[in-house]
Structure 1
Amino acid sequence: MTQNEGSRYKVSRGSTTHGPEGEHHLVRGEGSSMRLWHREEPNADKPMSTHPYETLGYVIEGRVDLIVNDETVSLQPGDSYHVPRNTPHTFRITETLTAVEVNTPATDR
């Protein structure tokens, strides 16, 4: 992501990028990155995945089931969640979801 207006401390909305699954990459630091998720449609068929980064998240609105280590955790607005790195997991969106996540180490995915 480019950081505009001559500041290394600000990323303007027009300089951020969008991913294919509804993620909006907000900012990337030296060791972590932040993204906003907005998904309207349910995704009951999303397969499990594993990533080389840790994810910390916060549900702003909507509902989603996090399935990690064979445990299903229902999340709603105000709930935070943690997915350890290299851990198989998936998210099953049940109601239009808006959530923010921080990934460590940083990722552009």
Structure 2
Amino acid sequence: MSLVVRGADAQTGQRGEKLLVQGDAARLRVWEGESAGEVAPEHANAYEYLAYITAGALRVRLGDEEPVDLRAGDSYRVPANVPYAFEVLERATVVEVVVGDAVNR
């Protein structure tokens, strides 16, 4: 694992996310330019992640909670194995930190 990843060298993940630096227990990734109207249907991941919206707006539903509209400057947490869904309200960029055992899978 590299200690430094330059933006020009960042790999692109399976779903278009930019994969940044990775450690033993965490991975940093960014979703850039998510288009308004894009929807991710309800799903769950085997890992937890923390997200920070740097641009745009999302509507996020976590578990049984009511959907909440989030804008640039807001953050949220998605626990492992908790169903969630989101809709992009305004072209968005989201920085995520993936934590836990799933990092090195």
TM-score range, shorter chain: 0.7 to 0.9
| Structure 1: tracts of 5 or more residues without a match | 4-8
Kindly provide the CA deviation profile for residues 27-80 of structure 1, in whole angstroms up to 9, marking residues without a partner as x.
111001010111124223x22111111111111010001111132111101101
Determine if the alignment matches structure 1 residue 42 to structure 2 residue 30: no
Partner of 1:104: 99
Query: Is the Cα–Cα contact under 8 Å of residues 53 and 85 in structure 1 kept in the other structure?
Result: yes
Number of equivalences:
102
Q: Which has the higher strand share?
A: 2
- C-alpha distance in structure 2 between counterparts of 1:90 and 1:22, whole Å: 17
C-alpha deviation, 1:23, in angstroms: 1.1
- Across the aligned residues of Structure 1 and Structure 2, the Cα RMSD in angstroms comes to 2.0
- C-alpha distance in structure 2 between counterparts of 1:31 and 1:100, whole Å: 17
**Which residues in structure 2 correspond to 1:1-109 (within 5 Å)?**
3=2, 9-38=3-32, 39-44=34-39, 46-70=40-64, 71-105=66-100, 106-107=102-103
| Structure 2: tracts of 5 or more residues without a match | none
Q: Which runs of 4+ in 1 moved over 6 A?
A: none
Query: Is the Cα–Cα contact under 8 Å of residues 25 and 108 in structure 1 kept in the other structure?
Result: no
Report percent identity of matched pairs. 34
